[in-house]
């Protein structure tokens, strides 16, 4: 597990790297367990404000390890699902830093992230239909909510590879950068996020991700239940005091 998924924490950012470049970072059971463990650790670590998910060796991930699939090596982990993330992403913001290919389950890992930084030459796709399979790790559920319906259908039904530039135009990719620069750019974006208060960040993410299913008549009430503890927190007082004293805030996460 330690070899196939590597985690580095620095300056409030946890970088989680799928480290199977010889297999184009295909996801097997060890990768799923490694990512799940890294997410648990990052969510529990008060020194971590934001996460980055990336792949080693110039590619993000080619998806499920089909050889492992044939031998019964399930690329899932308990309630987190495929890749240890798609069914229960981390509570903290997570950025996908994409080089090379993000295909099939690899694309679904990207879709489980909150922001996407991609190299200009990166390619995305859901080729499952060409293998007699279905993109059941969130691709069909999340993609139509992130990009226009007809483009989502084209991606899902044709199985073709789509360039990062087209997905940026569709609103899926936040930043498009030169080849080899996705991780550096993702770290810069994560650093911007990490300046925010821990409680404010996790609550903001939770409201955005959950509110789509809230009835409109209950939306503000449900939001109030989540934000009231934040406004009453020590961090909220620290944020106001730091602003008044013209200094960076010192967050405590409480």
Which residues are tagged catalytic? 108, 128
DSSP string for 62-97:
--B-HHHHHTT---EEGGGEETTTSSS--SS-EEEE
The 10 Å Cβ neighbour count of residue 183 is 20
135-173 in b/e form (b: 16+ CB < 10 A) is bebbbbebbbeebeeebbeebbeebebbbbeebbebebb
Say if CB 119 and CB 182 are below 8 A apart: yes
Q: Residue 234: helix, strand or coil by DSSP? A: helix
- Which tokens belong to 215? 């009835």
Strand 94-98 relative to strand 115-119, pairing:
parallel
d(CA 88, CA 93): 13
């Amino acid at each position: 597990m330690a070899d196939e998924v590597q985690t580095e924490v620095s300056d409030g950012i946890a970088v989680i790297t799928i480290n199977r470049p010889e297999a184009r970072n295909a996801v097997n059971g060890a990768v799923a367990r490694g990512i799940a463990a890294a997410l648990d650790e990052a969510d529990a670590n008060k020194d971590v404000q934001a996460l980055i998910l990336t792949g080693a060796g110039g590619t993000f991930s080619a998806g499920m390890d089909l050889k492992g699939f044939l031998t019964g090596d399930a690329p899932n982990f308990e309630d987190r699902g495929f890749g240890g993330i798609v069914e229960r992403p981390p509570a903290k913001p997570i950025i996908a830093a994409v080089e090379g290919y993000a295909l099939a389950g690899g694309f679904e890992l990207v879709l489980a992230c909150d922001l996407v930084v991609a190299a200009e030459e990166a390619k995305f796709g859901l080729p499952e239909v060409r293998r007699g399979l279905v993109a059941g790790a969130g691709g069909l559920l999340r993609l139509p909510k992130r990009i226009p319906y007809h483009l989502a259908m084209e991606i899902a039904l044709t199985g073709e590879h789509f360039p990062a530039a087209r997905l940026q135009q569709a609103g899926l990719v936040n930043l498009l950068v030169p080849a080899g620069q996705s991780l550096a750019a993702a770290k810069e974006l994560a650093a911007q996020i990490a300046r925010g208060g821990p409680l404010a960040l996790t609550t903001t993410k939770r409201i955005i991700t959950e509110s789509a299913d809230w009835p409109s008549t209950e939306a503000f009430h449900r939001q109030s239940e989540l934000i009231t503890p934040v406004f009453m927190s020590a961090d909220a007082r620290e944020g106001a005091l730091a602003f008044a004293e013209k200094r960076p805030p010192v967050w405590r996460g409480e």
